[in-house]
Amino acid sequence: MAFVKEQNGLMYRYDAEKLVIEPWGENSLRVRSTRLAEMPGCAEKAGLDSGNTDDWALLPQKSCNTDIKISDEGASIKNGRIEAKISKIGQIRIYNQKGELLLNEYLRSRLDIKDRTYSSLELEAREFKPIIGGDYEVTLRLESVNPDERIYGMGQYQQPWLNLKGMELELAQRNSQASVPFMLSSLGYGFLWNNPAVGRVSFGKNVMTWHAESSKKLDYWITAGDTPAEIEEAYAGATGTVPMMPGYAMGFWQCKLRYQTQEELLQVAREYKKRGLPISVIVVDFFHWPLQGEWKFDPVYWPDPDAMIKELKDMEIELMVSIWPTVDRRCENWNEMIEKGLLIRTERGFRIGMDFQGNTVHYDATNPEARDYVWKKAKQNYYDKGVRIFWLDEAEPEYSVYDFENYRYHLGPDVQIGNVYPLMYAKTFFDGMKAAGQKNIINLLRCAWAGSQRYGALVWSGDIHSTFESFRNQVAAGLNMGLAGISWWTTDIGGFFGAEITDPRFHELLIRWFQWGCFCPVMRLHGYRDPVKPQYGSTGGASCRSGADNEVWSYSDEVYEVCKKYLFLRERLKPYLEKIMQAAHDKGTPVIRPLFYDFPRDKAAWEIEDAYMFGPDYLAAPVLYEGLRERKVYLPLGARWTNAWTGESFEGGRIVTSSAPLDIIPVFCRDSAKLP
196 and 301 housed in the same domain: no
Residue 630 lies in a domain: yes
**Strand 218-224 to strand 207-215: parallel, antiparallel, or no bridges (unpaired)?**
unpaired
Range 556-580 average pLDDT: 98
- 212-265 residue pLDDT tens: 999 999 999 999 999 999 999 999 999 999 999 999 999 999 999 999 999 999
* 145-150 own/partner pairs: CB under 8 Å, 24+ apart: 145/101, 145/102, 145/103, 145/104, 145/187, 146/187, 147/205, 147/206, 149/185, 149/186, 149/187, 150/185, 150/186, 150/606
**Residue 178 contacts residue 419 (beta carbons within 8 Å):** no
Going by the DSSP 8-state scheme, the letter that residue 480 receives in this structure is H
CATH code of 661's domain: 2.60.40.1180
Amino acid at 660: A
Range 545-552 average pLDDT: 96
Residue 512 lies in a domain: yes
Q: Is the pLDDT of residue 118 over 90?
A: no
CATH code of 86's domain: 2.60.40.1760
Residue 134 lies in a domain: yes
- Residue 43 has a pLDDT of 47
Q: Is the pLDDT of residue 140 over 80?
A: yes
Q: DSSP readout, 72-95?
A: TTEEEEEETTEEEEEETT--EEEE
Going by the DSSP 8-state scheme, the letter that residue 291 receives in this structure is S
The CA distance from 262 to 121, in Å, is 67
- Residue 113 has a pLDDT of 47
- Residue 52 has a pLDDT of 45
493 and 411 housed in the same domain: yes
- Of 213, 239, 265, which residue constitutes the final position of a domain? 239
- Residue 157 has a pLDDT of 98
Residue 606 lies in a domain: yes
Q: Is 5 exposed, middle or buried (0-12, 13-18, 19+ CB in 10 A)?
A: middle
Indicate which residues carry an active-site annotation: 393, 396, 463
Give the residue from 462, 335, 348, 449 showing the smallest Cα distance to 398: 462
For residues 300 and 45, the model is more confident at: 300
| Number of C-beta neighbours around residue 611 at 10 A | 24
Q: Is the pLDDT of residue 46 over 60?
A: no
Buried b (16+ CB within 10 A) or exposed e, 275-299: eebbbbbbbbbbbbbbbbbbbbbbe
Is the preceding omega at residue 258 within 30 degrees of 0, hence cis? yes
266 and 197 housed in the same domain: no
170 and 278 housed in the same domain: no
- 431-477 residue pLDDT tens: 999 999 999 999 999 999 999 999 999 999 999 999 999 999 999 99
Q: Is the pLDDT of residue 313 over 60?
A: yes
Range 612-628 average pLDDT: 98
The CA distance from 588 to 584, in Å, is 4
* CA angle, residues 454, 457, 462, in degrees to nearest 5: 145
310 and 449 housed in the same domain: yes
Going by the DSSP 8-state scheme, the letter that residue 544 receives in this structure is S
Residue 657 has φ and ψ, to the nearest 5°, of -100, 120
CA 345 to each of CA 342, 364, 413: distance values in angstroms, whole numbers, following the listed order: 9, 9, 9
427 and 332 housed in the same domain: yes
Residue 675 lies in a domain: no
Could you tell me the pLDDT band of residue 122, with boundaries at 50, 70 and 90?
Answer: confident
What share of the chain has pLDDT > 70, as a percent? 96
- 371-401 residue pLDDT tens: 999 999 999 999 999 999 999 999 999 999 9
- Residue 347 has a pLDDT of 95
- 470-507 residue pLDDT tens: 999 999 999 999 999 999 999 999 999 999 999 999 99
181 and 232 housed in the same domain: yes
Residue 676 lies in a domain: no
Q: Is the pLDDT of residue 623 over 80?
A: yes
User: What mean pLDDT, rounded, does the chain reach?
Assistant: 95
Residue 659 is part of which domain span? Answer: 594-670
CATH code of 296's domain: 3.20.20.80
- Of 222, 239, 256, which residue constitutes the final position of a domain? 239
Residue 265 lies in a domain: yes
- Of 587, 607, 641, which residue constitutes the final position of a domain? 587
| Number of C-beta neighbours around residue 65 at 10 A | 9
Q: Which of 113-122, 200-209, 419-428 has the lowest mean pLDDT?
A: 113-122
Could you tell me the pLDDT band of residue 535, with boundaries at 50, 70 and 90?
Answer: confident
Q: Which of 38-42, 328-332, 582-586 has the lowest mean pLDDT?
A: 38-42
600 and 583 housed in the same domain: no
Q: Is the pLDDT of residue 121 over 90?
A: no
| Number of C-beta neighbours around residue 472 at 10 A | 18
- The total number of structural domains in the chain stands at 3
Residue 529 lies in a domain: yes
395 and 484 housed in the same domain: yes
**Residue 574 contacts residue 251 (beta carbons within 8 Å):** yes
Residue 6 has φ and ψ, to the nearest 5°, of -125, 110
- Residue 42 has a pLDDT of 45
Q: DSSP readout, 409-476?
A: ETTEEHHHHGGGHHHHHHHHHHHHHHHTT--S--EEES---TTGGGGTEEEE--S-BSSHHHHHHHHH
618 and 515 housed in the same domain: no
312 and 294 housed in the same domain: yes
551 and 601 housed in the same domain: no
- Residue 51 has a pLDDT of 43
